[in-house]
Structure formats: C-alpha cells, structure tokens
Structure 1
Amino acid sequence: MTLPCSLSSTRSNFDRAIRINIRGTFLGMKYQIAAMLHGPGGAIVNMASIAGLHGVADLAGYTAGKAGIIALTRVAALDYAEQGIRVNVVAPGPILTHRLEVAGEQAQLLAAGATPMRRVGRVGEVAATVLWLCSGQASFVTGAVLPVDGGQFAGLRPPQMHR
C-alpha cells in the first residue's frame, strides 16, 4: 500500500507548516490583543488561504495550517468582541505573487482556469480587502472568513451544462 504524497511527507515538514501557520498566528494575536486591550480596541486580519476552507491534494500541512488559522480567528473573534476587538481572516485563492510568477505562464493559466472569473487575483486586491476589514466601514464584521478567490469557493462552474 502506498501512502498519498501529502501524508508521506516528513513529520518535520508537517510540524513546520503547523508551527508557521497556527503557532505564528496565535503568537501574533496574543501580543496584538494584549496591546489592544489597553486602548479602544482594534481590528486584526489574519491571512489564511482558500486551501483552509477545503482540502487540497498533496498539501496536508499547508491545508491543515490554514484551516487552523481560520479556527483561531473565529475563537479570538468570539473571545474579544465585547472588548471592541474585531478579528477576521482573508482566504486568498490564486494570487499573482512572486511564487506564481516564478512558476511560469502555464501555471498561471492553470490557476486562472480554476476560478469562475478566469483570472488570477492581484496582490493589491487582497490588500484592499484587508484595508476594508480594518476600516470603520467593516465595524460590525468580526469572525468572518472572506475568500478573495475570483469565485472559486462559491462552487463548481462546469464549462458546459447538460440538461
């Protein structure tokens, strides 16, 4: 019996992904919230991924880590809402970052084809979402997971429907 690739990765690689994503987010929030409790409150926006909302083959550590960020965000939102601290999380889909640029045009076309909008997102679009979540316009938003993914999380959009 052969194990799936994502579960055959080394324990240290899996542990590293969990440490970076979950422990890193936990520690960041721990110190941000401590500072915010001495003032009028504030807004925290964590960074997850669409991978944290559904499984992605061969990325067990990454996917579990991003799902953990989403769970931590929701817990913090519940724990600190009464103190005026809003905690939300952004879950980007395929975004044209350095990593996707280096992967090449074929990878970019493949990523674009996975979204109903048939394009990859731009870093500025993610940044604008984060800024909105930190603004007064989002003052009643806490515990939200906001996909920035060109509609990818909305569901499947087959190229042709047969009726």
Structure 2
Amino acid sequence: MSKDADLLTTVASFRRLVTTLNRAKTHERLTEAAGVRLDRPDVQILVYLLDAGEPRRIGAIAEGLQVESPHVTRHVSALEKRELLERVRDPEDGRAWRIALTPAGAKAAESCRQVTMDWFSIALADWPEDDRAELARLISRLSEDVSERLVNHTAAK
C-alpha cells in the first residue's frame, strides 16, 4: 500500500471511530450503562477533571477540551447545581477558583470512563497483547501530534 493510501485508510478509519463514539445513540448507551443522566459536554468535563487528577481553572478545562471558556462556564454552573462539581480556592492565587469534582461527580466520571473502557476491552479482547500495547503507543502519539499541530495552527492565525 502506498504512503497516501495508508494515510487515507488511517484518516477514514479514525473518522469512522470518532463518528461512532460521537453519535447521540452512543452517548445515550454510555450514560444509561453508567447510570447517570448527563449531556455529552457534562461527561467530557467530568472525565477531563477525573483524568487531570486535580482541580483546574475554567480556562484550563476549556483549553484541554478545545472549546471556549463560556461553554465550559455554563456547564460547570449546571454541574455545580447538581452537586457534581464545586469551586475551590486556587492554592497558587487565593483570588482565583478552580473547579473540583465532588465525590458524586467523581463517581459519575468513573462510571462513564469504566463503560468506555469496557467497550474498548470487548473490542480488543481477541487482539494479542503486543498489538494492544502498540495501539496504545500509536494512538497516544497520534493524539498528541494532531492536537499539538492543530493548536499551533490555530494559534498562528
């Protein structure tokens, strides 16, 4: 297969995977299996904070999710009202706030992340361990490289 054909296959396969994961029905299945009632952006924010392992400022969450801060602010406010998130003082700047998961928010995020991991675990069950390790390495590299280039391209404009 030529280099261009490999790239075309990679992009088409990646687009198909992203489309599948972003479908409304997939999100409904995720939240139903996780036992939570959350919009897609809510899940993204909760899981982002869970993965971060520490409270983050609104701007850092927006940057991490590559969305605008007002979008994050709206969802954070709604998640605070549901007691899934809370504001905590920024230890580096006592005037600023960071957003933290509450125990209920951490539980919801963990449930959503576990459902997704279960889906991938089932899909990869018959793959040899070396192939799974190689996939993890390559998908991490692809994610970092594409994200970096898109962020740098956007910043250069």
TM-score, length-scaled by structure 2:
0.26
Higher relative contact order (CA 8 A, sep 6+): 1
TM-score, length-scaled by structure 1:
0.25
